[in-house]
């Protein structure tokens, strides 16, 4: 691989990292049965809070903590509204999406387009010298490493650990889990808040690392993309992370190709691309289109491919919790 492609691949990995963190967070929350629809507003508000806190205190750590705190708080409101007050998660999440957006615009008005601090590059000795993989994955910064470790750790946690079993049962069959002594409500609160905190870290990662700085609408739209990728990933952090990489890679490759062939007018296609991809991917993953495509393939391929392509959400996702 020549150096140019390696540089592109490394930039794709960096660009993907915040989105991967957000997808892992939302996956944890939804696996426990709480849809945090406020993602787009949470990302905006935590990106703003993270930038402002780091700018004022000159400390990256405080920036990320502020982002995590904001994200956790937003998730707590969604969880409280649905678990304690039995309101619709969608309604509360939607209102918070808009509120987060306008709050970030108002509170961030004096922090717009200022030169801030950013996460420094931190190559890992030895590992960075592995051919191809080294410069792409291990010559990055802490945000990228965090995304990598988080993906692996949360996948293991959800599917291979004992607490993960309780987590999945809270999202799949909460009544049965409750009968077996799982504290469903507490679990849902905990994972929703943890997931929200991760979304907040992702927001701060945008304004302090990937898209350095703050301006109104800095990350607008990315939260919705993350929500769609959680579905695409079949509620698995690993598959979600691959989905993010695929999404970001497709966008960068097509943008390179388009700019060579179309020039100016490519902007329209480029802007439309994420949303067209989102529709296409959801049609294939959760829609009939995917099933029809599969049915045309030779029979031995169908089963494994169906497992890869299509996924069902946790059975009790967003449903009201009834317990003793």
Interacting residues toward other proteins by CB under 8 A: 37, 77, 80-81, 84-87, 90-92, 94-96, 98-99, 101-103, 105-106, 109, 178, 183-186, 221, 224, 227-228, 231, 265, 268, 271-272, 274-276, 278-279, 282-283, 286-289, 323-324
Tell me how far, at minimum, the Cβ of 282 lies from other proteins, in Å.
4
Nearer to other proteins, 11 or 266 (CB): 266
Tell me how far, at minimum, the Cβ of 136 lies from other proteins, in Å.
30
Nearer to other proteins, 99 or 148 (CB): 99
Tell me how far, at minimum, the Cβ of 316 lies from other proteins, in Å.
15
Tell me how far, at minimum, the Cβ of 185 lies from other proteins, in Å.
5
Tell me how far, at minimum, the Cβ of 232 lies from other proteins, in Å.
11
Tell me how far, at minimum, the Cβ of 252 lies from other proteins, in Å.
19
Nearer to other proteins, 146 or 178 (CB): 178
Nearer to other proteins, 291 or 307 (CB): 291
The 3-class SS string of the chain reads CCHHHHHHHHHHHHHHHHHHHHHHHHHHHHHCCCCCCCHHHHHHHHHHHHHHHHHHHCCHHHHHHHHHHHHHHHHHHHHHHHHHCCCCHHHHHHHHHHHHHHHHHHHCCCCCCCCCCCCCECCCCCHHHCCCHHHHHHCCEHHHHHHHHHHHHHHHHHHHCHHHHHHHHHHHCHHHHHHCCCCHHHHHHHHHHHHHHHHHHHHHHHHHHHCCCCCCCCCCCHHHHHHHHHHHCCCCHHHHHHHHHHHHHHHHHHHHHHHHHCHHHHHHHHHHHHHHHHHHHHHHHHCHHHHHHHHCCCHHHHHHHHHHHCCCCCCCCCCCCCCC
Nearer to other proteins, 129 or 323 (CB): 323
Nearer to other proteins, 133 or 179 (CB): 179
């Amino acid at each position: 691989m020549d150096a140019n492609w390696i540089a592109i691949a490394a930039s794709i990995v960096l660009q993907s990292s915040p989105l991967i963190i957000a997808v892992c967070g939302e996956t944890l929350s939804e696996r426990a049965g709480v849809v945090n629809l406020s993602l787009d507003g949470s990302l905006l508000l935590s990106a703003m809070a993270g930038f402002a806190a780091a700018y004022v205190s000159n400390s990256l750590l405080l920036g990320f903590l502020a982002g995590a705190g904001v994200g956790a708080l937003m998730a707590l409101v969604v969880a409280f509204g649905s678990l304690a007050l039995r309101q619709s998660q969608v309604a509360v999440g939607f209102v918070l999406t808009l509120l987060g957006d306008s709050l970030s615009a108002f509170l961030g008005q004096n922090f717009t387009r200022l030169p801030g601090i950013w996460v420094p590059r931190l190559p890992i000795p030895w590992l960075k010298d592995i051919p191809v993989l080294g410069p792409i994955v291990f010559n990055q910064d802490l945000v990228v490493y965090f995304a990598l470790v988080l993906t692996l750790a949360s996948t293991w946690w959800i599917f291979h650990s004992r607490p993960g079993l309780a987590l999945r049962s809270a999202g799949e069959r909460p009544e049965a889990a409750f009968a077996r002594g799982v504290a469903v409500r507490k679990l849902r609160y905990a994972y929703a808040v943890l997931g929200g905190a991760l979304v907040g870290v992702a927001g701060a990662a945008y304004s302090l690392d990937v898209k350095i700085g703050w301006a109104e609408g800095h990350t607008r739209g990315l939260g919705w993309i993350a929500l769609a990728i959680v579905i695409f990933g079949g509620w698995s952090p690993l598959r979600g992370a691959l989905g993010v990489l695929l999404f970001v890679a497709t966008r960068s490759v097509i943008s390179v190709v388009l700019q060579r062939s179309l020039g100016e007018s490519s902007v329209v296609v480029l802007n439309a691309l994420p949303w067209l991809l989102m529709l296409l991917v959801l049609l294939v993953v959760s829609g009939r289109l995917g099933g029809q495509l599969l049915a045309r393939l030779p029979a031995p391929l169908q089963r494994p491919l169906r497992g890869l392509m299509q996924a069902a959400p946790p059975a009790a996702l967003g449903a009201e919790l009834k317990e003793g």
